[in-house]
Structure 1
Amino acid sequence: MQSIKTICIYGAGALGGAIAARLAAGLNDRVVVSVVARGDHLRAIQENGLKLWPAGASEPIVTRVHATDDPSTLPPQDLIITGLKGHQLGAAAAGIGSLMHDRTRVVMVLNGIPWWYFHRDSQSCYAETQFEELDIGGALWRSIGPGRVIGCVAYQGAEVTMPGEIRLSNDGRFVLGEPSGEASEDLAVIADLLISAGITIQTTPRIRDEIWSKLMGNAAFNPISALTRALMSDIMADPALANLAAKVMAEVKSVGEALGAGFTMSIEERLVHSKNVGDVRTSMLQDLLAGKALEITPLVGMVVSLGRLSSVPTPTCETILALVTQLDRENRRAPG
């Protein structure tokens, strides 16, 4: 991969905006950073810049980036980093595709099972299998192509506290990996660039292990928090809710292992770790309170679907899926 001169953050919400601010502040004039955003958040970025509050900071990082809601106004990009959630990607497929040239790579920062999951998968017997619920009509597979993708799992708490302003709850880290597991030149160049911007990056030959490891927590805590309006600390302080989370984790672990994933952290260790997260609102709870569509399919629905594919029972996840799906319908129902 040649040197990266242009980067577009497609979806500059909490996580995407945080990455954009880090890149703009850390790389100075080495790279042109653009963002695709919308609504009041976009207008605030255009008028006042993008403000990022690192964890524990007394002053924000304020950066100026080119911000638009129309990707057609941008030139082809060397690197695209998506900050959209899985259920938002399909509508953006054509826009993302319009920003690519022959060598463009796309870092997909996603929670849950991504649309490209089985591309060049050697851990299971389902290589190149596609799922309609993750990629309706094959729009992502066709417009972007799984061969462009570098997988990314984010361990970064972030929230848009007001338009144009993002607050981080931890220092955060990001794990990158090629779907094939290769230690490619592209992967190395992208990782080095992000590290030089002050972003903590790790690379792995087994990105699917990392996907399942994070999903073990997300599949449990995101829907439980949305259904109960509870913060992470509230969930872990309630024995019944913590036990429910453990049951979800056990099902996720069983499905992941059936598909060849490895887990380095036990359920018990994950629960202990979760007790230390603090008074954090999960991303699903944030979306619920904002009246937005919930990220259900990648986090819960695919655990059920992949459980069926691999003949692993997922009764707790099936129950939570039914409940949170109805919650989403009611939450987005127009008043009156």
Structure 2
Amino acid sequence: MAFVIYGAGAVGGVLGARLHSAGVDVRLIARGAHLSAVRSRGLRLESPEGATTVPVPAYGSPAEAGVEPGDVVVLTMKSQDTPAALEALRSSTAPSTPVVCAQNGVANERLALRLFSHVYGVCVMFPAAHVEPGVVQARSAPVPGLLDLGRYPAGVDETALSVAAAFTKAGFVSEPRDDIMRWKYRKLVMNLGNAVTALCGTGSGSAAQVTELLRAEGEAVLAAAGIDVVDDETDRARRGDLLRTPAFEGQAPGGGSSVQSLLRGTGTIEADHLNGEIVLLGRLHGVPAPANELVRQLAVVAARDRRAPGSVPADDLLARLAA
């Protein structure tokens, strides 16, 4: 079984590097300056345990990477890039190819299942960073991340077991789960604060209050939609103290994937697929979600205008929500 990691940024790059170092057959799909850097110098992986350069093969498209029968494709791009990635994948790959969605949000699996018959969801708990071409960082050590997975919409099969075993071989904690989407919806609620961190930075009491408003809306909307979600206590127990993030030399600025999108000036951000998922479900089920809608809009504008992280004072954002 070979792994084609489609989207070799923070999560995909670290995952691919660790799989390759563990002796797993890996091919990365990347783009732009990052692709050129990996091809010319290898992929540099930095972590609290040190730095290493991994000579993992990198390609510019699924057709170039050559997805073969028996391979598994792991999607690790941001959700806004999934539709285009799936179209490129379907043009060169059999519809029976296993597609593993190691992504935030809950919409990627459904998109993939329209085109591919074997789709898997991964609940990604994986502190990682990518802000420089050719370099990725794993922020947690010795365990780089938790990658529980299961078949979509439910179930566990031999492919799920094999993928979990490969992830475990590469140093991750990974359990096959027949109810993976319940866990992914809990992660969605956690991710609703990503846009706040990108807009306002960290350490502010007002920012924390905004995040609590977003999550309370999220819980109410998911309950109204009748979506079964793993409870917060169970999720905390699963994570325990497995993820430890000591500081290390050259560490990228803190914050999650949305902060990194603004730092890299990509022009896009995941808010439409995180906060926007709650807005969509709220509209479908008659539950207003004004806090998520405002934060979603502001994050999209900040990304489009290539603003730096922390451009919106948290007190101003909280005042707008209270008005």
| TM-score normalized with structure 2 length | 0.81
- Given the alignment, which residue of 218, 236, 243 partners 1:252? 218
**For the residues of structure 1 that align with 2:40 and 2:65, how far apart are their CA atoms?**
19
Equivalent position of 2:86 in the other structure: 93
- Given the alignment, which residue of 63, 77, 98 partners 1:72? 63
3-state SS of the aligned residue for 2:270?
A: coil
Equivalent position of 2:11 in the other structure: 15
Counterparts of 1:185-200 in structure 2, within 5 Å, are 185-200=158-173
**For the residues of structure 1 that align with 2:170 and 2:197, how far apart are their CA atoms?**
33
Shift of 1:99: 4.5
Equivalent position of 1:121 in the other structure: none
Q: 1:208 to 1:70 in 2, by over 3 A?
A: closer
Q: 1:281 to 1:196 in 2, by over 3 A?
A: same
> Aligned AA for 1:244?
V
Q: 1:22 to 1:277 in 2, by over 3 A?
A: closer
Shift of 1:262: 2.4
Are 2:53 and 1:62 equivalent residues in the alignment?
yes
Q: 1:61 to 1:201 in 2, by over 3 A?
A: farther
3-state SS of the aligned residue for 1:252?
A: helix
Q: 1:75 to 1:290 in 2, by over 3 A?
A: closer
Deviating above 6 A after TM superposition, structure 1's stretches of 4 or more consecutive aligned residues are 276-279
3-state SS of the aligned residue for 2:269?
A: coil
Equivalent position of 1:151 in the other structure: 121
> Aligned AA for 1:70?
S
Equivalent position of 2:135 in the other structure: 165
Deviations 1:42-92 (A, max 9, x none): 1111111112123x213x232212211132223233101111111011121
Are 2:20 and 1:46 equivalent residues in the alignment?
no
**For the residues of structure 2 that align with 1:100 and 1:199, how far apart are their CA atoms?**
28
Deviations 1:15-50 (A, max 9, x none): 1011110111002xxx43111111221111111111
Are 2:278 and 1:303 equivalent residues in the alignment?
yes
Equivalent position of 2:229 in the other structure: 262
> Aligned AA for 1:150?
Y
- For structure 1, the 5+ residue unaligned runs are 118-134
Deviations 1:280-300 (A, max 9, x none): 222111111221111121111
> Aligned AA for 2:269?
L
* Structure 2 contact 261–303 (Cα < 8 Å) conserved: no
3-state SS of the aligned residue for 1:202?
A: coil
3-state SS of the aligned residue for 2:305?
A: helix
Paired positions, count = 288
Identity of aligned residues (%): 28
**For the residues of structure 2 that align with 1:174 and 1:277, how far apart are their CA atoms?**
17
> Aligned AA for 1:21?
A
> Aligned AA for 2:179?
R
Equivalent position of 1:122 in the other structure: none
> Aligned AA for 2:196?
I
Deviations 1:204-229 (A, max 9, x none): 22212211211112112x1112222x
